Amino acid sequence: MTETYYTPDRDFLIREFRDNPEYTLHTAVVHGNLPQIRELLTADYDIDKLHDYEGTSKGRGTPLHVAIWSNQPAAFELLIIRGADIDLVDAGDEMRFPDTPIRVAVRLGRRAMFKRLWDLGAERNKYPSNMRTRHSLVEVAACDGQAHVLRDLLHWDESWTEDQRIRALMMACNQGHVLVITTLLGECAYSTTVLENAISAAMVAEFPLDTWCKASEHEKKRKQQERSMRRAATVMHLLDEHNRVGSVDGTQTYDCSALLNQLVYRGAASQGYVDVLRLVLAKGADPNVVGREGNTPLHKAMTRGGHGMGDYNEKGVVVLLEHGAKVDVRNEKGETVGDIANRERKYKERWVRG
C-alpha cells in the first residue's frame, strides 16, 4: 500500500545521462536550460531521441518524457512547440510498463502537462504491440494515487468502461490510496459484490517487497502501523458505500452483519489489521463469531501474529477482550484460548483472565 515505483529526482536523471553526448538534449531538459535546448534543436539535434540505459533496453524516453519526469514545464512547452512527438512510447523499466508522455504525466500527477497533452489529442492507451497488459489512464491514475488527475479524467470523458472503473478501484485498494478510493466512490457506481471484492483487496494489500526488506525493525513497525490505519480508512469508506448501495431506499440500514463478522475473523489474524478490527467491532461485528474448526476471533488472534510483529496478535487480543470476546469458548479440538496459552507458554495471564 504505497507508491507503485520509485520516482527519480533530477540528480538521478543527470547521472543516467551524463558523459553521453547522445543525451545532451535530455540533460539540458533536466536542468531546464532553455537557451541550450533551443541551440541543440536549431542544430538539428534529434528531438525524439529515445533514452536507452547502457544497452539494457530500459530508459526514460524522449526529451519530452524527461521534461515531465523532471517537472520542467517551460522545457516541456518548448519541446511541444518545436514539434516533439507526443505519442512515442519509452522503454519502461523494472518497476513500470513502457509509457507515453501523457501516461507519465498521469503517473506523476503533472496536471498542467497532462491537460496540455490531452487537449492536443494525445493517444490515451498506446502501448507496444506485443504487450498484453494495457491499463487505461483512469487505472494508471488510481494505481499511482493521483486523485486530482483521476477526477479530471472522469469529468472530461464519460466513456470509461465499467471494467476500467472496477479495475481502478481494485488497484487503489491494493495500494491503499484512500483519496483515490473516495474519489471513485463519489464519481462511479459500484455493486455490493464489487465493493466486497474491493474490501478483500484492501485486506490483503502489502508494501512492495523491496521497500519492506530494506526497512529497519523500527521502520517496519512504523510502516505496519501506518498501513493498518490506511487499511482501516479504506475499509471504512467501502463499508459505508456498501451499506448505502445495499439500502432499499437509501435510508434503511442494510444488514451487513455477515460481512462484518467475516472481517472481524480476518482482522484477528494479524496486528496489521488491528485498526480494521476496532472498526468492524465498533460497527457491530460479533467478537465471538465461530469460524473454521470452531475457532473464534480470539482463538485466531492467540495463534497468529504475522509480518514480523510477533507470534501472536497481542493488540488484537486486547481489542477483542475489550469488546466482550469470551475466553471459555471451545473449538473443535476442545481448546479454549486459555488452553492455547498454557500449551504455547507465551501469553501472559492477563490476556486470558475472564
Q: What is the CA radius of gyration of the chain?
A: 25
Lowest-confidence region among 105-109, 132-136, 169-173, 196-200: 132-136
Looking at residue 58, what is its pLDDT? Answer: 72
Looking at residue 215, what is its pLDDT? Answer: 63
Q: Could you read off the pLDDT of 37-58 as tens digits, one per residue?
A: 999 999 999 999 998 876 566 7
Lowest-confidence region among 8-12, 27-31, 70-74: 8-12
* Euclidean distance between CA atoms 254 and 125, whole angstroms: 39
Three-state DSSP state, 44: coil
Top-confidence range, 75-79, 130-134, 299-303, 305-309: 75-79
pLDDT at 116 over 90: yes
Distances in Å between the alpha carbon of 245 and those of 203, 255, 343? 21, 11, 46
How far is C-alpha 80 from the chain's CA centre? 32
Q: What percent of the chain stands above pLDDT 70?
A: 86
Domain limits of the chain? 255-353
Q: Could you read off the pLDDT of 190-216 as tens digits, one per residue?
A: 999 999 999 999 988 764 544 545 567
* Stronger pLDDT, 56 or 17, i.e. the higher one: 17
| CA angle 123–120–62, rounded 5-degree value | 65
Looking at residue 169, what is its pLDDT? Answer: 98
pLDDT at 350 over 50: no
Three-state DSSP state, 53: helix
C-alpha cell at 155: 469529468
* Stronger pLDDT, 310 or 87, i.e. the higher one: 87
pLDDT at 252 over 60: no
Fold (topology level) of 255-353? 1.25.40
Report yes or no: 259 and 285 within 8 Å, Cβ to Cβ.
Answer: no
* Euclidean distance between CA atoms 308 and 220, whole angstroms: 8
* Euclidean distance between CA atoms 153 and 144, whole angstroms: 14
List of residues 6+ apart from 249 with CB closer than 8 A: none
Q: What global pTM score does this model have?
A: 0.85
Lowest-confidence region among 212-216, 304-308, 345-349: 304-308
Instruction: Give the mean pLDDT of 215-243.
Output: 85
* Euclidean distance between CA atoms 333 and 44, whole angstroms: 79
Distances in Å between the alpha carbon of 45 and those of 24, 48, 110? 9, 9, 26
* Euclidean distance between CA atoms 291 and 302, whole angstroms: 14
* Stronger pLDDT, 193 or 252, i.e. the higher one: 193
Report yes or no: 229 and 179 within 8 Å, Cβ to Cβ.
Answer: no
Q: At what angle do helices 73-81 and 24-31 cross, to 10 degrees?
A: 130
Q: What percent of the chain stands above pLDDT 90?
A: 55
What is the b/e burial string over 299-320, where b = at least 16 CB atoms within 10 angstroms of the residue's CB?
bbbbbbbbbebeebbbbbbebb
Looking at residue 210, what is its pLDDT? Answer: 44
Instruction: Give the mean pLDDT of 245-252.
Output: 66
Neighbours of 246 (CB within 10 A): 16
Report yes or no: 111 and 148 within 8 Å, Cβ to Cβ.
Answer: yes
HSE-CB at 112 with a 13 A cutoff on CA atoms is 8
Instruction: Give the mean pLDDT of 240-245.
Output: 91
Instruction: Give the mean pLDDT of 131-146.
Output: 91
